[in-house]
Structures are given as structure tokens and as C-alpha cells.
Structure 1
Amino acid sequence: MTTMAVQNLVPLLVLIILRVFVKSSESVSPDNFSPTFPRRFLPYQGVRAAYWPSSIDFPASSIDTRYFTHIYYAFLHPEPDTYKLSVTEFDQTNIPEFINGLRYKHPQVKTLFSIGGGGNEPTVFATMAKNQRTRGVFINSTIQVARQYGFDGIDLDWEFPANKQDMANLALLYREWYEALVLDARIHRKPRLLLTSAVYYASRMLFLGDEPRSYPAEAIRKYLDWVSPMCFDYHGSWDNFTGVNAALYDPKSNISTYYGIGSWIQAGVPPEKLVMGLPLYGRTWELRDPNVHGIGAPAVGVGPGNEGTMNYKDVIEFNQKNNAKVVYDVVSVSYYSYVGDSWITYDDVWSIQKKVQFARSRALRGYFFWAVDKDKDWTISRQASNAWGH
């Protein structure tokens, strides 16, 4: 176990002791047991963002922009042969509707398009990033698309660089991309396009693949406007036990947002360049024994929903319809519910408030949601925005 892991466990062990004395569902403030993080607030508005999957039946014009500063169009993909950005006939119709649907909203939001996502083949990115020529082809095509459609920025979601060489090439890609954006802005006398990147929850990848590897923190610090750790999917259908989807704290492991954000800061990425990910969905399991229903309970498969996932709005409806037992877990700062052999982990108003307050008090740049259509009547989006101070 690393020194950092030991240090992170100390305040969490204190929390476990405190939990014995907590008889209500009220949360213990993270600031009571997070001495390694300075408490300071940002002087600027910050980022309150969300991804808008282009395939959903939810028009961008329906987004309540009071709760957001940036909306990502997700996803575009590079062509596997040329590495130019592919804009399909679907995108050619959908992107103008997305841009126009948000352009005249009040308040206005910034728009970015995201490249990649979980459904993209990671080897395409790896091959593209190997040499300067293909990186240049890719970069130039992203700028052309952004300018053609009127986006304010570009986001890379490479899930995930597979080895140390991929990480080194990613650093080169960030640098050359930023330099190209600066040149583009100078030539066209326009504001520079934003450059952001969605990344693993921690700066060092320990659990995906055989080779431990770290993100290029120095290149991120120099060339990105911000980086977005995906602080969710900590547990899911790949586990044969119930677990928390987006634990703020985990006294048993480093799979937590507390650890992940701390690792990014320790790696040298300034807090003001970190935008913390939050899920608007839960993970579900089928319990082996309905009478054993805590966190870590044995499971035999996925529960209700779509292949073990359930949107927040559907979780609330499921709980009400089935009279499910709802539990707030003070240690992980999260909710779970169960009824019969169904078990769901998710975030609700209180846990989202505490997580946003965590991001705010640690002077992070902001937060983002995956994804904007999964909320219920803007309940979570509103609470997060209020907790941020807007």
C-alpha cells in the first residue's frame, strides 16, 4: 500500500468511528476529516457541465441552462483509416439542431463536442497518436469541425490509453493540439477554442490492464483548459457483490473520489484545472439472498434497468412504485435502495450536495454530469448548481 493510500485511510477510519454515534441520516461533513485538502473557494464562476448524448430523444432546446455553463455534444469519432474526424449524415443534421437549440437560451452556455467515449475503439486513438503526421491530420480536422459548426471547444474522451507509450503520445497530442488552437485563433482573430479531456478517476491507472501507467500531468497542466476525472462506475455488473457507483470515500480501498481527486492534485494538476464527474444514473444488482442487502452483499447478476444501469429518474420511480427501502450511507456519501432481490446504488439530492460542496471546498474548477437527460425534473442539476453557489 502506498504512503498516500495510508494517509487517505486515516481520516476515513476516524469517520467510521464517528459513524457509530450518528443515529440519523445526516451526513458528516467531508471537511471534518479531510485535513490534507486546503479549504478555499474559487473567485470565478466555475464549470457546471453536462454531456448530451446525440442519440437520445431529448432535444437540446429542452435543457434548462440556468443550471449549466457548458454542454458537450457526445460523441464524434475519428475515421479508423484517415484519422480525420467523422461527421456522419446524422451528425450533420443533429449538430446544427444542438447548436441552435442552445444558442438562444438564457442564460447562454458554451458548447463543446466530445470525441470518443466508452463505445469508441481505443486502438484508433493509440494508432493516431503514434506519429506527428497522423496527430496533425486529426487535430486539424477537429478544428475545422469546431469552426464550421460554431462550437466553443473540443473534448477528448479516450477510454483508455493502454500503456506508458500511449500516455507519452497523449502528452504530445495535447501539446500539438493546444499549439494548433493558438495558431488558429491568431489567424482568424477569434477566441481560442477550449481544449478539455475526460479521463480516468485517478491520475494513475492501477486497475485497467496489466501495466500501471500515469497520465501526463505536466502536459495537462500546460495545455488543457481543464481535465474531467470520471468519478463513477467504481462498481457495477462486473462485480459479484453490491458496491457504490460513485463513492466519495471508501475506507477499504482507493476506489473513491476522495482518493482520485487527491491523486490528480498530488501528480501536479492544479485544482482549478479539475472538473469532477458526477453520475445521473445508478448501478443495479440481483441479490443472492434478499435478507443480505448491505453494501458488499453477494450478488448473482444485474438487477432492474438496462443491463445493470438505471437513470436517476427511473430509480426514483422504481423506489416509489415498489416501496423500496432507501438507505443513505454516511461513509460513502451515497444512497442505495433494495426491495426483494433488487439492489440499486445511486446519488440523490443530499449526496450530490455533499459531493459538490467537496469539489467547491477543494477549489476545483467545477463538476460535470453524465448525462443531462437522466435527471428527473432537473432535481439533481438544480441542487448541484445551488450547492456550487449559483
Structure 2
Amino acid sequence: MRLLLPLSLLAITVSLTEGVMVCYYGSWAVYRTGDGKFDVEAIDPDICTHLIFGFAGLGWDNKIRVLDPYNELCENYGKCAYNRFTALKEQNAELVTILAVGGWNEGSTKYSNMAKNAGLRKTFVDSSIELLKAHKFDGLDMDWEYPTQRGGKPEDKVNFISLLSDLSTALHANNMILTAAVSAGKLTIDPAYDIPGMAKNLDIMNLMAYDLHGAWDPYTHHQSGLYQYPDDTGDNVYLNQDFAVRYWIDGGMPSTKIALGVPLYGRCWKLDYNTEETGYYAPASQPGPAGPYTRSPGFLGYNEICEFQKTESDWVVEIAPGMNEPYTYSYSHERIWCSYDDHDSCVVKANYAKEMNLAGMMVWSIETDDFKGKCHDRTFDLIKTLRETYSGGVITVPPPPPTTTLDPSAPTTRTASTPSTTTTTTTSPAPPPDGVCKVPGLNPDPANCHHYYLCSPNSHNGYDATEELCSSGTLYNPEAKICDWAASVCALGKYCEADCA
């Protein structure tokens, strides 16, 4: 057995033969409706080696910030999602639970300002350790998207390594691990990442080898192709998983620290009406229609795609010459065209990761797999396929131990000084409009899609509201309950009229 991590971290080591199966969880899926709703208890704790809760954020006080206190904490009759998430280890003692901080919606500016100052880094690191301990997480996933970009500065490349070094030292001292989600795009990698410095400090690097194409392109393409499409030219020759893996390794990242990311969703377009083309590079200037669960134009969960294919007869599935991944289209479904991964392409990618001596696999994200087993003879088929293929065998699922039910009203071990108890707001926040808090959790501002409000019940039979700004280029999507691409929100045609004009 070859250990990927320091010997002191006995609880979180993994054999080379089995590999890692890192599963991100998008916690806002709890707000979806119908068969798309996915809460912590829907997670199968036996299919992933590492579970990552997305996301925490960064407060303007430079402390780690709980982004949805009502869902994630226990105070004020909250739903205790953090505690329930880490309690999954009671069903699988080998499971590693990690809290991710950052994500696309957070942007880069706050992280850039924090990382450049040793004192501010210490504030962030200390508050992170305190929050992780309070809720029994095993580590932190640093998901700054991206250093030097989206409001960042050129010096972020150096400062990011200082931040990772501070985090690594503090986390390892507390028997925790440090992981990071990183870009697969060469044009992001070159300015943003000092690869040898990252290799020195990270225990696992989660390579986001997806979103390589999407509705921001005026033509169809595969968002997560393993290899270059034969007709690719220009910068598109870099936009494939094999190039990204080799580029990171050639830059100095050990292959055994790389978890290859596979998307459990599709990127979708509407084929233009003036074309009969249905392959790659078909003209497509609009995002595909939103799905019934994820409610985001240009995006469908794998569960949505496979259910459409199962219930609607005109969906065509094809694989382009020289490629391994499927794409699908339907003329009756608003001329939709989606690139995605399925059972067979997951087999190919897991075998590739094995041959490249990678640490294992990663998925974004567990709640859009076929978790109800509507399309396959088992639940979570894509995740199980990735792990079984990489490990070369079938997962043996141990019998579950007696379950423990958490009392949402019970106090946590967090002290009053923990940063997550401090309500943080943007600088000079505007008060929420009267009646903006309709339900606990995320609420839109009908008059302004550039922000939204986090609403938590208080002891006065009302709500405490915290303003959250959407990053540049995004607007709040009231259906998906996320800050989404502005074009995707405007494509819904029923929100943000002033912002979409």
C-alpha cells in the first residue's frame, strides 16, 4: 500500500489500488423540488472516499463564512446540515468529510485581498480551523476561482501559495487535510498557478476537467472531452482532459495527487433554426432550456437527461468520430443539444486515470447522478461505475450500523466566539425590502437580480436577512437558487427585466 498523505493522517489514507472517489455535494439541491430534491440523507456514504460540502465563503472580516446559516447550522431552529453531513462517518468510518470554501459565485476579489496579507491569512486560517473542528470536518477544500482572474491581481499567483502553505501547516497540525479544486484550462493555469508550490502543499488536487465548452460558445462542443476533437483548432486544442492532466503533470504536480473530475451533468445549447447540423460546431447561439430540477438554462443534471431520454422517444444519442463521450439532441424539446458523460464514458475515463497513475476520480456533483435509480438498475450508477472501474472490482457495502438521529434544536459544540455566529454583510448593505423573506433560506429581491438575501428565522417570529452579492457576469436565478450566468437567467424570460434589458 502506498500512502498519498502523511503517515500521521491515518484515518484519511487510501491505497493506490482503490484510489480516491471524491464527491462534491451542492448543498442548494435541498431547495429543489420533486425528484430533484436532495438533502444530506440522500447521500450514500459508502460510494465515495471523500465527500466535500459546497460551499462556505469568505466574510468581509476575512473569516470563513457560513453562507446559508438556516440550512447549515443548528441555531434558530436551523437544519444542522454541517453536523448531519459529517455524521455520515457514523455509517462509514473510513469516509472523509471536507468543507469547500469558495466556488464560482464567490468570485476572486475577497480572496485576493486576504491572501496578500499575512495577518489576514492568519485570521482566515484560524477561523477555518475553528469551524472545521466545531462541526467535525476532516479538512478544507480551497476553491478560489481563480487567482489572478475575476477580480484578482497578478500577484495572486505568489500569494495563493502563501495561503496554501499557511492552511497546510495548520490543517496538518490538527490531523486534517488540504485539497483544492483547480482549473483545467491552460489560459487559466498559466497566470494563476505556481504548480510546484501547489504540489508541495496539497494532499489532493481536484481537477475540474469540465465546463471546457458551454452555452457561452456560439456552437456545440463537448464540455468534458477526454481527447482533442480532430477538427479543433486554436485554443480549442487545449480544451480536453488529456491535455489538462499532462499539462499539470509536466508543470510539476505529481500524478498521484490528481483526482480527475467528471461532470454528472450536461452543458446544453439550442440549435439555431437556420441549421440542420447536429454534430460538434453546429451553430447554437442560445442556451438550452432549463430542466425541471436544476432550473438553469444551458445546464441539465445527468438525472434530468437520462429521464428525458427514457420518457421522450425522439432523443438521439451519438458519439462524434474520435471521441468517447456522448451527446444528445431533441428537436421537439426546443431543439436542445447537450454534451454529457454516461456509464460507458465513465468507464473510459476511469481506466484513463488508472493508466495515468492518477490518485483517482472526482465528480461534480453527487446530487445530479441518477440517485433514485430511475434510469439504471441501481442508484448513483455513474459514481459507482467510476469507482469500480478504477479499483478493478465491485464496491463491497458493509451493513449499516445503528443510525443516530440528530436533534435540530440541540446545541452544537461551537462556542459563541466561532466566526460563523457573527452575521457578516457586504460593505454598507442596503436593508432588505419589506417582505423579502418569504421562506427560510435563499430569497430573491424582485427589484434587483444582482443580489439575494439569506433569511434565517429569529426568536421574534420573523427573519434575520443577510445580503449576498452575485459576482460580475452573473445574476440571481430564483428557480435554481444560485447566482447563474446572466445570459442563462435572462433566457428564462420572466425575471430580471431591468437587468436583462
Partner of 2:250: 266
Residue 363 of structure 1 pairs with residue 357 of structure 2 = yes
Instruction: Give, in whole Å, the separation in 2 of the partners of 1:280 and 1:107.
Output: 26
Q: Deviations over 1:187-216 (max 9, x none)?
A: xxxxx20100001114xx4169xxx51411
Instruction: Give, in whole Å, the separation in 1 of the partners of 2:217 and 2:238.
Output: 16
Residue 373 of structure 1 pairs with residue 367 of structure 2 = yes
Pick from 213, 218, 225: which aligns with 1:240?
218
Instruction: Give, in whole Å, the separation in 2 of the partners of 1:347 and 1:358.
Output: 15
Partner of 2:305: 315
Q: Deviations over 1:92-118 (max 9, x none)?
A: 122112222x12224641100000001
Residue 76 of structure 1 pairs with residue 41 of structure 2 = no
> After the TM superposition, which residues 1-390 of structure 1 pair with which residues of structure 2 at under 5 Å, given as runs?
43-57=16-30, 58-80=38-60, 82-87=61-66, 88-90=68-70, 91-92=72-73, 93-100=80-87, 102-106=88-92, 108-162=94-148, 163-182=153-172, 184-185=173-174, 192-202=175-185, 205-206=186-187, 212-250=190-228, 251=230, 252=232, 253-288=237-272, 289=274, 291-305=276-290, 306-320=296-310, 321-340=312-331, 341-376=335-370, 377=373, 378-389=380-391, 390=393
Q: Which moved more, 1:299-308 or 1:111-120?
A: 299-308
SS in 2 for 1:206: helix
Structure 1 residue ranges, 4+ long, deviating more than 6 angstroms after superposition: none
Q: Which AA in structure 1 matches 2:86?
A: I
Unaligned residue ranges in structure 2 (runs of 5+)? 1-14, 31-37, 74-79, 291-295, 374-379, 394-501
Instruction: Give, in whole Å, the separation in 1 of the partners of 2:243 and 2:363.
Output: 19
Instruction: Give, in whole Å, the separation in 2 of the partners of 1:332 and 1:207.
Output: 24
Give the C-alpha shift of residue 45 in structure 1: 2.9
Larger radius of gyration: 2
The 1:153/1:318 distance shift into structure 2, 3 A limit, reads: same
Aligned-pair Cα RMSD in Å:
1.7
The 1:262/1:386 distance shift into structure 2, 3 A limit, reads: same
Instruction: Give, in whole Å, the separation in 1 of the partners of 2:165 and 2:288.
Output: 44
Q: Which AA in structure 2 matches 1:274?
A: I
SS in 1 for 2:328: strand
Give the C-alpha shift of residue 322 in structure 1: 4.0
Q: Which AA in structure 1 matches 2:242?
A: Y
Q: Which moved more, 1:316-325 or 1:251-260?
A: 316-325
Instruction: Give, in whole Å, the separation in 1 of the partners of 2:265 and 2:249.
Output: 27
Give the C-alpha shift of residue 328 in structure 1: 2.1
Instruction: Give, in whole Å, the separation in 2 of the partners of 1:348 and 1:272.
Output: 25
Instruction: Give, in whole Å, the separation in 2 of the partners of 1:161 and 1:332.
Output: 32
Instruction: Give, in whole Å, the separation in 2 of the partners of 1:43 and 1:234.
Output: 28
Give the C-alpha shift of residue 275 in structure 1: 0.9
Instruction: Give, in whole Å, the separation in 1 of the partners of 2:227 and 2:16.
Output: 27
Instruction: Give, in whole Å, the separation in 1 of the partners of 2:85 and 2:115.
Output: 29
TM-score, normalization by structure 2: 0.64
Q: Deviations over 1:60-87 (max 9, x none)?
A: 222223321010011000102x110112
Q: Which AA in structure 1 matches 2:277?
A: V
For the 8 Å contact 1:59–1:98, the answer to whether it is kept is: no
Unaligned residue ranges in structure 1 (runs of 5+)? 1-41, 186-191
Aligned pairs, number:
335
Q: Which AA in structure 1 matches 2:144?
A: W
Q: Which AA in structure 2 matches 1:386?
A: E
- Percentage of identical aligned residues: 28
Instruction: Tell me which protein shows more helix as a share of its residues.
Output: 1
Partner of 1:39: none
For the 8 Å contact 2:179–2:202, the answer to whether it is kept is: yes
Instruction: Give, in whole Å, the separation in 1 of the partners of 2:195 and 2:125.
Output: 20
Partner of 1:21: none
